[in-house]
Amino acid sequence: MAKGDYQSAFERSLRDPADFWGEAGESVHWYKKWDKVLDDSNKPFYRWFVGGQLNSCYNALDLHIDNGRGDQTALIYDSPVTDKIKTFSYRQLRDKVATFAGVLAAQGVGKGDRVIIYMPMVPQALVAMLACARLGAVHSVVFGGFAANELAVRINDAQPKVIVSASCGIEVKRVIPYKPLLDEAIKLARHKPQKCIIVQRPMERAELILGRDLDWKEAMAAARPHECVPVAATDPLYILYTSGTTGEPKGVVRDNGGHVVALKWTMKNIYGVDPGDIYWAASDVGWVVGHSYIVYAPLFNGNTTVLYEGKPVGTPDAGAFWRVISQHKVKAMFTAPTAFRAIKKEDPNGEFIKKYDLSAFKTLFLAGERCDPDTLQWAEHHLGVPVIDHWWQTETGWAICADCIGIEQLPVKPGSPTKPAPGMDVRVVDEQNQEVKRGSIGALVIKLPLPPGTFPTLWNADQRFIDSYLSEFPGYYKTADAGYVDEDGYVFVMSRTDDIINVAGHRLSTGGMEEVLAAHPDVAECAVIGVNDELKGQLPLGFLVLKAGVKRKDGDIVNEIVKMVRDKIGPVAAFKTATVVARLPKTRSGKILRGTMQKIADGQDYKVPATIDDPAILGEIAEALKGVGYAKGA
C-alpha cells in the first residue's frame, strides 16, 4: 500500500471491504482459497473468508521455514527474574511446537477440542498455544496465578480435554506456586480435564497426581512430531475470557482466517515493521495483547518477538525496558501507559534512559487504557521517538483507532488514539442511536460489520453476544466507551460507560468485586467504583453499609474484605481500600449513583442528580472519602 495515503485506504476499506481484505488475504498461506471474503447472509453473525482452509501455526512458523528463513530468530525469551535469556530460530520453535502438538494428540486432543493454558511468561506458553493451533484445537489462556474459583469458572465454560500449566510463576522476588491453585480449581469445577501437563520449574517443584498429571519434559521426550491440520477459516482458534458485567466472564472467540489476515496486515500498516525486525509487546500471554502481539502477529509477519518475564521497574530497576530494547535491538515496542507511569515515578528525569544505546528503537505504542497527555509527553521527550497511543479491546483483537504509521504517519494529538484504523467505522451516538455532532460526547460505537480479526461471537453464547454488544445500538457494535470525534476526525476516548474499570491495563468488573463484598456476613449493601490513580490509571474503592447491630471494628471488617477480594479475584484487582458508610446514594428507583460517587472521589465537579432520593447523602460520602484520602478537591 502506498505510504502517505491513510484517508484513501480508510475509505476503500469501508466502501469495498471484500476487495480491501481480499487483497490483504493474498499474503497468507491457504490450503484452499476462500469462496467469499465476507459472508453477510446471517446478520449480525458476519463471517470472513468463508470456504477457505488454512492453519494458523503453519502461517506463524512453517511458512517462513519453507521460504528459506528457518534460521532467523523467531523468539527471544528474556527473564530478569530468573537471570536467563534464550533465543529460538523459526526452525527450533517449529520443532518444539510440532513435538508438543504430538504430546497433545497422544492425549486425544484434536480439531475443535479445548485446551486451557495456565502459565507464566515462559516459552512453553507460546509453544502450547501454537501446538493447539497446529492441531486445530481451541486454546484458552488464563492469566497465570488467577484465583482458583476464577479458573474453575473458565474450566466449566470451556470444558477443556487437557490443561497445560507450570509449577510456579515468579513475581519479582517471590515465587507463586500454581499447582495448588490448579488442583483447587479442578476440585471446584464441575467439568474435569482428562490430563494436566505440568512444566516443572527449578525454583518450585509441583506434586504430580498419578494418572492425571504428566511432566512436560518427559512427555516431550516420548512424543512424535505432528503436522499442521487444515481448518476452516471460520473455525475457532481461541477463547479468551473477559470480565462480564454479571460477574460471569465472557468467552471472546477468535476465528482462524480473519485473524491471520488482519493481524499480519497490522504489523506493516499500523506498526511499521518488516519481516526480520525485532518487535516487543511488553504484556502477558494471559491478555489479548499477548495473544495478538507477543505470539501471533509478529510470527505471521516473520518478525522476531520478545517474551519478557519481568517488570518495568524492580527487575532490577527503572532501566529494565531500556536494557531489553538496547540489548536485543528492538525496533518497535508496545506496552501499557501504566508501565510508563511506574518508570516515570521511579526515574522522573529519565536518567536510566541515558545509560543505554537506543539507536535501533523507532516507535513506542501505548494501549490498554487511556494514555494521559503527561505520560505521553514524558515518553516523547526522553525517548525522542514517536509515541503512538492507540485504542482497542479484547473483543476487537487489534486497534480500533491508531496512527497507522505504515500507511501515513499523522500528527499526534495528546489524549487521542488518532483516527479509526481501516475497517473500523467509528461513530458517536446518543441514547436514541442518533449520531451526534462533531465534538459532542456520546457512546462510541462501530458500524457493522466489524473487520476481520475481531470476534464473531461469544463461546456457546450467541444470544449473550447480541445482548451484550449489538442490541443497545442496532446496526453497531457497542464499545462501552464514551467519547467524541473532533473536527479533524480524531477520536477521543473519555471513559467507560459500564462498570468495567481499568486497573493497570486489566479490565476488571466492579460488579464482580461487589459480589465478593456482598458475601461478607457483616455487609448489608455495597458498591465498588474506580477512582483515578496516577500509577495504575484506576483503582477499585469499596463502600460498605454494615448490617444493623454489627459491633465489630470497621478496620477489621475492611481487612477481611480486602483478603476476600484477593482470594476470589486475585492480586490483579489491586483492591486495597474500602470505607464503611451509613448508606449509599441512590435514585428513587433504587439505582446506586456510582458515577456521582466517582466524581466526588476524584475531586471533580458534579451535579446533584435530579433523581436522587436524598441529596444529603452526598455530603456523607464526601466525608467518608476524605477519611480514606480521596475527595480532596470536593
Q: Outline where 6-78 has alpha helix (H).
A: 6-15, 17-25, 56-57, 63-66
Query: Does one domain contain both 441 and 521?
Result: no
> Which residues have C-beta within 8 Å of that of residue 379, sequence separation ≥ 6?
340, 364, 366, 387
Residue 30 above 90 pLDDT? yes
Domain end point (choices 450, 470, 490) = 470
Distance CA 20, CA 422 (A): 9
pLDDT tens, position by position, 497-538: 656 677 887 767 677 788 789 889 898 888 999 998 888 888
**Per-residue pLDDT averaged across 595-622, rounded?**
84
Give the mean pLDDT of the chain: 92
* Gap between the Cα atoms of 335 and 313, Å rounded: 14
- The answer to whether residues 396 and 542 belong to one domain is no
Instruction: Please give the pLDDT value at position 499.
Output: 63
The reported pLDDT for the residue numbered 343 is: 87
The residue type found at 286 is G
Please say if the pLDDT value at position 438 is more than 50.
yes
Instruction: Report the distance separating Cα 543 and Cα 578, nearest Å.
Output: 6
> Rounded to 5 degrees, what angle do the CA atoms 326, 328, 333 make?
75
Q: Is 72 exposed, middle or buried (0-12, 13-18, 19+ CB in 10 A)?
A: middle
4, three cell numbers: 502517505
> Where does the pLDDT of residue 447 fall: very low under 50, low under 70, confident under 90, or very high at 90 and above?
very high
Interatomic CA distance for residues 290 and 338, integer angstroms: 16
Separation between Cα atoms, residue 262 and residue 61, nearest integer Å: 17
- Helix/strand/coil for 257: helix
In which band, very low, low, confident or very high, does the pLDDT at 588 lie, cut at 50, 70 and 90?
low
163 and 115 Cβ atoms separated by less than 8 Å: yes
Rounded average pLDDT over 6-21: 97
Give the domain range for residue 611. Answer: 502-627
Q: At 480, is the secondary structure helix, strand, or coil?
A: strand
| Cα distance from N-terminal residue to C-terminal residue, the chain | 52
Beta bridge partners of 254: 238
CATH code of the domain containing 437: 3.40.50.12780
If you average pLDDT over residues 476-496, what whole number do you get? 90
Mean pLDDT in residue range 159-180? 94
In a domain, 597, yes or no: yes
State the pLDDT at residue 232: 98
Q: Which of 470, 494, 522 is the last residue of a domain?
A: 470
The pLDDT assigned to 2 comes to 47
Same domain, 454 and 508: no
High-pLDDT (> 90) share of the chain, %: 72
Domain boundary among 470, 488, 522: 470
Rounded CA-CA distance 274/37 in Å is: 25
Residue 484 lies in a domain: no
Return d(Cα 449, Cα 423) in angstroms, integer. 9
- Looking at per-residue pLDDT, the higher value among 104 and 576 belongs to 104
Q: How far apart are CA 37 and CA 48, in angstroms?
A: 5
Q: Which of 147, 96, 103 has its CA nearest to residue 122?
A: 96
- CATH number at 507 reads 3.30.300.30
Among 333, 264, 266, smallest CA distance to 300 is for 264
Residue 482: inside a domain: no
Model confidence at 113: pLDDT above 80: yes
Q: Tell me which residue of 260, 259, 305, 300 sits closest to 64, measured CA to CA.
A: 300
Q: Lowest-pLDDT range, 53-57, 124-128, 286-290, 299-303?
A: 286-290
Three-state DSSP at 53 gives strand
In a domain, 336, yes or no: no
User: Is 97 a residue whose pLDDT tops 80?
Assistant: yes
Q: Which residues pair with 540 in a beta bridge?
A: 530
Q: Are residues 544 and 421 in the same domain?
A: no
Highest mean pLDDT out of 23-37, 163-177, 433-447, 558-572: 23-37
Instruction: Tell me: do 32 and 143 sit in the same domain.
Output: yes
pLDDT band at 590 (very low <50, low <70, confident <90, very high): low
Cell triple for 504 = 493497570
Residue 633: count of CB within 10 angstroms of its CB: 9
Indicate if 85 and 219 belong to the same structural domain: yes
Poorest-confidence range of 234-238, 361-365, 549-553?
A: 549-553
Higher-pLDDT residue of 372 and 250 is 250
3-class state of residue 311 by DSSP: coil
Contacts 24+ apart (CB under 8 A), 216-219: 216/124, 216/164, 219/103, 219/106
Asked whether residue 398 falls in the same domain as residue 518, the answer is: no
Residues in the chain: 634
Report the alpha-carbon distance of residue 53 to residue 231 in Å, rounded: 5
Average pLDDT (443-454) is: 97
pLDDT band with cut points at 50, 70 and 90 for residue 496: low
Q: Is the pLDDT of residue 466 over 80?
A: yes
Residue 298 lies inside a defined structural domain of this protein: yes
Establish if 333 belongs to a structural domain. no
DSSP codes joined into one string, 528-583: EEEEEETTTEEEEEEEEEEPTT--S-HHHHHHHHHHHHHHHT-GGG---EEEE-S-
Residue 617 neighbours by CB under 8 Å, 6+ apart: 583, 584, 585
Residue 115 pairs with which residues in a beta bridge? Answer: 139, 162
Tell me which amino acid residue 495 is: S
Rounded CA gap, 118 and 409, in Å? 38
Are 365 and 398 in contact by the 8 Å Cβ rule? The answer is no
Q: Residue 425 has what pLDDT?
A: 98
Looking at residue 260, the DSSP 8-state letter turns out to be H
Q: Averaged over 130-134, what is the pLDDT?
A: 98
Residues 535 and 426 in one domain: no
Q: How far apart are CA 337 and CA 375, in angstroms?
A: 7
Contact 610, 588 (CB under 8 A): no
Lowest average pLDDT, out of 155-169, 184-198, 440-454, 540-554, goes to 540-554
What is the grid cell recorded at 377? 509527553
**323 assigned to some structural domain:** no
Mean of the pLDDT values across residues 170-189?
A: 93
591, 519: one domain = yes
Lowest mean pLDDT among 109-113, 238-242, 367-371, 488-492: 367-371
Q: Are strands 491-496 and 476-485 parallel, antiparallel or unpaired?
A: antiparallel
Q: Is it the case that residue 347 has pLDDT exceeding 50?
A: yes
562 lies in the same domain as 619: yes
Confidence of residue 3 (pLDDT cuts 50, 70, 90): very low
Tens digit of each residue's pLDDT (9 = 90 or more) over 66-93: 999 999 999 999 999 999 999 999 999 9
Residue 454 shares a structural domain with residue 509: no
Buried b (16+ CB within 10 A) or exposed e, 446-468: bebbbbbbbbbbbbebeebbeeb
Mean pLDDT of 97-120: 98
The reported pLDDT for the residue numbered 1 is 44
Q: Do 461 and 519 lie in a common domain? A: no
Q: How many domains does the chain have?
A: 2
